[in-house]
């Protein structure tokens, strides 16, 4: 375990051992800035000597691995659980509802399809028929207006993808605040989605997928199920008025739902209505592990490389990471060990760290402050009063607390006014009644962190 050091200007220096950090704190030459990871700040001038440090980033859609490696040892390892993309979708829909409600209260608001809007739409259709040279000549300012009014479609990124890209950039900035990272290394290889579905595909087989010669996914699913309802067996081929629908086994409102054919089933209109009304149950098997995370990882990787184009960033490939992790370092498959292998230059084997920081990315609305209005009894005027959402009896969400032998995070207030303490993954540990006071070890933040031991015992494997 390392103690990270900052100079008096809050610039990162090389880390030190906990023993030296205790001596500096005891002599009054430093102060504690952060507990996890443990960081101190020097109160006097320092030499500012720094060594070259390489940062490795293992890009992922659910978990993010990060590591910082010097010439001699591994200085930092972390594994971050990213925010669920379905949570991002829920927040956008909620914000949309608030926005529409707010705008509906404005009496002087113009109709959504006013004359100005119709003119802009006509201009957009006119420009779509012209060439780029003609557009630049006739409408020199249209590209700027279109970006403001309609959005730049070429650079559009889904909010769930942009959130994950921001998480990767924020993790890099968090590491750069405690360590003088000189360069970053990331992987550029993408997942082969076709080979994930069919491991035996090769050559021209990439042009002939399972949906070859079908117009869309719906026609493929209907043909796969023989144009029959999978509940009552009604056939849609006969001209008896039977209407067939394609139903999602895992509903689309859930985060693990997908439009993959393995999650689709053929139902007639009557059975489809019964399933949605909970009057009938499906005996279909659960959805298989799809390609959702692989697709997200490919998109996040491309956007991250584009965002870091101007920085000192190096690239590597997946087969190089696997070779260094198994043949040279002899490490098991973990996100933080992949990050170590990515940052490792392949010359001298570094000394591994025994500490891994497990981090969870928490949405802002789970801990942020909000303003309320308060009336005084004397004057009747209102004054702003700051309250914290989710605070109860001195505690709020994601406070790290200890009660007896149990250490965990405060997640929510139960119906019987008791605090529920869970681990970092959300598994319930215990409930505490309102008259008991657990000890607060660390205030809640957007990055709740726990420390665990790294399992680095692995026999080097032979690479074929």
Give yes or no for residue 317 having a pLDDT over 90.
no
CB atoms within 10 A of CB 256: 14
Give yes or no for residue 461 having a pLDDT over 50.
no
pLDDT for the residue numbered 458: 47
Report CA-CA distances (Å) from 407 to 392, 417, 430, 447, 455: 19, 20, 10, 17, 22
| Poorest-pLDDT segment among 83-97, 158-172, 450-464 | 450-464
Per-residue pLDDT reduced to its tens digit, 200-243: 888 888 888 878 888 899 999 999 888 888 888 888 765 566 78
List 325's β-bridge partners, or say none: none
Who's near 199: CB < 8 A, 6+ residues apart? none
pLDDT for the residue numbered 235: 84
- pLDDT bracket for residue 5 (50, 70, 90): very high
Give yes or no for residue 152 having a pLDDT over 90.
no
CB atoms within 10 A of CB 135: 17
Domain ranges for the chain, please list them. 51-191+291-360+450-464, 211-276, 364-446
Give yes or no for residue 102 having a pLDDT over 60.
yes
pLDDT for the residue numbered 460: 41
Who's near 261: CB < 8 A, 6+ residues apart? 210, 211, 217, 220, 221, 224
CB 165 within 8 A of CB 60: no
Give yes or no for residue 389 having a pLDDT over 80.
no
- pLDDT bracket for residue 111 (50, 70, 90): low
Per-residue pLDDT reduced to its tens digit, 232-272: 888 876 556 678 999 998 887 776 677 888 889 999 988 99
Task: Please return the burial class of 392, using the count of CB atoms within 10 Å of its CB with bins 0-12, 13-18 and 19+.
Answer: middle
pLDDT for the residue numbered 101: 86
Give yes or no for residue 129 having a pLDDT over 70.
no
Six-digit token string for 260? 């993959």
What DSSP assignment string belongs to 325-341? IIIIS---S-HHHHHHH
């Amino acid at each position: 375990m390392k103690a990270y050091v900052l100079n008096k200007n809050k610039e990162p220096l090389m880390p030190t051992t906990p023993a030296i950090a205790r001596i500096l704190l005891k002599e009054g030459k430093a102060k504690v800035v952060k507990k996890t990871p443990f960081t101190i700040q020097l109160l006097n001038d320092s030499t500012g000597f720094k060594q070259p440090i390489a940062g490795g980033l293992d890009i992922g859609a659910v978990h993010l691995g990060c590591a910082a490696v010097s010439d001699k040892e591994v200085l930092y390892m972390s594994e971050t659980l990213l925010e669920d993309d379905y949570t991002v979708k829920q927040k956008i829909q909620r914000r949309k509802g608030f926005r529409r409600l707010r705008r509906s209260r404005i009496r002087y608001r113009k109709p959504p399809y006013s004359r100005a809007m119709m003119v802009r739409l006509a201009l957009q259709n006119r420009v779509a028929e012209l060439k780029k040279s003609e557009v630049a000549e006739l409408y020199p300012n249209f590209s700027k207006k279109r970006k403001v009014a309609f959005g730049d479609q070429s650079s559009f990124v889904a909010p769930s993808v942009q959130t994950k890209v921001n998480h990767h950039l924020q993790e890099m900035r968090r590491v750069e605040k405690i360590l003088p990272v000189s360069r970053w290394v990331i992987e550029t290889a993408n997942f082969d989605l076709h080979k994930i579905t069919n491991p035996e595909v090769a050559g021209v087989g990439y042009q002939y997928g399972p949906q070859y010669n079908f117009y869309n996914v719906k026609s493929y699913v209907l043909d796969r199920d023989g144009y029959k309802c999978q509940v009552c067996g009604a056939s849609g081929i006969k001209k008896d008025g039977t209407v067939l629908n394609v139903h999602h086994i895992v509903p689309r409102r859930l985060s693990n739902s997908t439009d993959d054919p393995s999650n689709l089933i053929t139902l007639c209109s009557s059975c489809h209505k019964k399933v949605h009304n909970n009057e009938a149950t499906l005996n279909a098997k659960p959805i298989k592990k799809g390609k959702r995370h692989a697709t997200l990882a490919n998109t996040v990787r491309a956007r991250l490389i584009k965002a870091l184009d101007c920085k000192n960033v190096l690239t590597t490939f997946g087969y190089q990471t696997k070779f260094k992790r198994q043949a040279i370092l002899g490490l098991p498959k973990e996100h933080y060990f992949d990050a170590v292998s990515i940052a490792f230059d392949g010359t001298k084997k570094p000394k591994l760290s025994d500490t891994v920081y497990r981090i969870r990315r928490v949405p802002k609305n789970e801990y942020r402050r909000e303003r309320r209005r308060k009336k005084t009894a004397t004057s009747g005027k209102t004054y702003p009063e700051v309250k914290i959402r989710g605070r109860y009896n001195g505690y709020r969400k994601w406070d790290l607390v200890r009660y007896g032998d149990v250490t965990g995070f405060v997640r929510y207030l139960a119906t019987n006014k008791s605090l529920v303490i869970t681990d970092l993954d959300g598994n319930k540990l215990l409930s505490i009644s309102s008259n008991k006071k657990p000890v607060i070890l660390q205030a809640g933040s957007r990055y709740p962190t726990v420390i665990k031991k790294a399992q680095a015992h692995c026999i080097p494997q032979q690479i074929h």
